[in-house]
Structure 1
Amino acid sequence: MSEARKGPDEADESQYDSGIESLRSLRSLPEPTLAPASGPSERSGPQPWTHPPRTSTEPQKEDADGERADSTYSSSSLTEPLPLLGDPEAKDLTPGSPLPSAGALSPQQLEALTYISEDGDTLVHLAVIHEAPAVLLCCLALLPQEVLDIQNNLYQTALHLAVHLDQPKAVQALVMKGASRVLQDRHGDTALHVACQRQHLACARCLLEEHPEPGRGLSNSVDLQLQNWQGLACLHIATLQRNQPLMELLLQNGADIDAQEGTSGKTALHLAVETQERSLVQFLLQAGARVDARMLNGCTPLHLAAGRGLGSISSTLCEAGADSLLRNVEDETPQDLAENPFTLLPFDDLKISGKPLLCAD
Structure 2
Amino acid sequence: MSGGVHRAVADQDYHALVRCVQDGCDVDEPHWEGDGKTPLHIAASLGNYDMIKLLCERGCDTNVRTIRGETALHLVITSKKDVFSSVDILLDYRCDGNIQENLQGQTPLHLLAKYVAGLPTYADRAVVCLRNLIENSNPRLADARGRTALHHLARSCTNLELIKDLFVCDLTARNCRGETPLHEALENDNAFDVVRLLAANSDLSIANNYGETPLHVVARKRKLSLIQYLVSMGASPNAQEVKGNTPLHLMAERGYLEGVKFLTECSLVDFNLQNNDGLTALHVAVESGFFDVVKLLLEAEACDLTLKDSDLQTALELAQQEYRRRSHPHLSVLLSDQVKRNSTTKF
Which ranges of structure 1 fall in alignment gaps of 5 or more residues?
1-33, 56-69, 86-104, 211-221
Deviations 1:186-236 (A, max 9, x none): 2221111111111222221221235xxxxxxxxxxx332222122222111
Q: What is the root-mean-square deviation in Å for CA atoms of aligned residues? A: 3.5
* 1:254 equivalent in structure 2: 234
Paired with 1:54 and 1:294, the residues of 2 have a C-alpha distance of 54
Paired with 2:87 and 2:212, the residues of 1 have a C-alpha distance of 43
* 2:255 equivalent in structure 1: 276
* 2:316 equivalent in structure 1: 335
Counterpart of 1:121 in structure 2: which amino acid?
Q
Please state how far the C-alpha of 1:182 moved relative to its aligned partner.
1.3
Deviations 1:81-136 (A, max 9, x none): 46578xxxxxxxxxxxxxxxxxxx98x42x33334333322222122122143321
* 1:29 equivalent in structure 2: none
Paired with 1:182 and 1:133, the residues of 2 have a C-alpha distance of 23
* 1:357 equivalent in structure 2: 345
After superposition, residues 37-56 of structure 1 pair within 5 angstroms as: 49=62
Q: Is the 8 A contact 1:196 1:246 kept in 2?
A: no
Q: Is the 8 A contact 1:270 1:304 kept in 2?
A: yes
The structure in which a higher percent of residues are helix is 2
Q: Is the 8 A contact 2:252 2:293 kept in 1?
A: yes
* 2:111 equivalent in structure 1: 126
Q: For residue 227 of structure 1, give the secondary structure of its aligned residue in structure 2.
A: coil
Please state how far the C-alpha of 1:44 moved relative to its aligned partner.
8.2
* 1:75 equivalent in structure 2: 80
* 1:285 equivalent in structure 2: 264
Paired with 1:137 and 1:326, the residues of 2 have a C-alpha distance of 56
Q: Is the 8 A contact 1:168 1:202 kept in 2?
A: no
Q: Which of residues 198, 209, 220 is equivalent to 1:207? A: 198
* 2:129 equivalent in structure 1: 135
Deviations 1:223-281 (A, max 9, x none): 3222212222211111010001111222122211101111x201111111011111111
Counterpart of 2:244 in structure 1: which amino acid?
G
After superposition, residues 147-226 of structure 1 pair within 5 angstroms as: 147-169=138-160, 170-175=162-167, 178-200=168-190, 201-210=192-201, 222-226=202-206
Identify if the C-alpha distance between structure 1 residues 49 and 265 changes in structure 2 by more than 3 Å, giving closer, same or farther.
same
Please state how far the C-alpha of 1:309 moved relative to its aligned partner.
2.4
Deviations 1:53-104 (A, max 9, x none): 899xxxxxxxxxxxxxx9993223835646578xxxxxxxxxxxxxxxxxxx
Computing the radius of gyration over CA atoms, which structure comes out larger, 1 or 2?
Answer: 2
Identify if the C-alpha distance between structure 1 residues 282 and 52 changes in structure 2 by more than 3 Å, giving closer, same or farther.
same
Paired with 1:205 and 1:171, the residues of 2 have a C-alpha distance of 12
Counterpart of 1:205 in structure 2: which amino acid?
R
Counterpart of 1:241 in structure 2: which amino acid?
K
Q: For residue 206 of structure 1, give the secondary structure of its aligned residue in structure 2.
A: helix
Q: For residue 279 of structure 2, give the secondary structure of its aligned residue in structure 1.
A: coil
Q: Is the 8 A contact 1:291 1:301 kept in 2?
A: yes
Paired with 2:286 and 2:87, the residues of 1 have a C-alpha distance of 65
Q: Is the 8 A contact 1:148 1:157 kept in 2?
A: yes
TM (norm. structure 1) is 0.65
Q: For residue 296 of structure 2, give the secondary structure of its aligned residue in structure 1.
A: helix
Q: Is the 8 A contact 1:168 1:206 kept in 2?
A: no
Q: For residue 350 of structure 1, give the secondary structure of its aligned residue in structure 2.
A: helix
Identify if the C-alpha distance between structure 1 residues 174 and 342 changes in structure 2 by more than 3 Å, giving closer, same or farther.
same
Q: Is the 8 A contact 2:186 2:195 kept in 1?
A: yes
Q: For residue 280 of structure 1, give the secondary structure of its aligned residue in structure 2.
A: helix
Deviations 1:31-50 (A, max 9, x none): xxx96559xx9x98987648
Q: Is the 8 A contact 2:139 2:148 kept in 1?
A: yes
Counterpart of 2:247 in structure 1: which amino acid?
A
Q: Is the 8 A contact 1:235 1:255 kept in 2?
A: yes
Q: Which moved more, 1:280-289 or 1:233-242?
A: 280-289
Paired with 1:135 and 1:51, the residues of 2 have a C-alpha distance of 22
* 1:267 equivalent in structure 2: 246
Q: Which of residues 216, 219, 235 is equivalent to 1:236? A: 216
Q: Which of residues 280, 283, 294 is equivalent to 1:300? A: 280
TM (norm. structure 2) is 0.67
Q: Is the 8 A contact 2:105 2:144 kept in 1?
A: yes
Q: For residue 130 of structure 1, give the secondary structure of its aligned residue in structure 2.
A: helix
Number of residue equivalences: 268
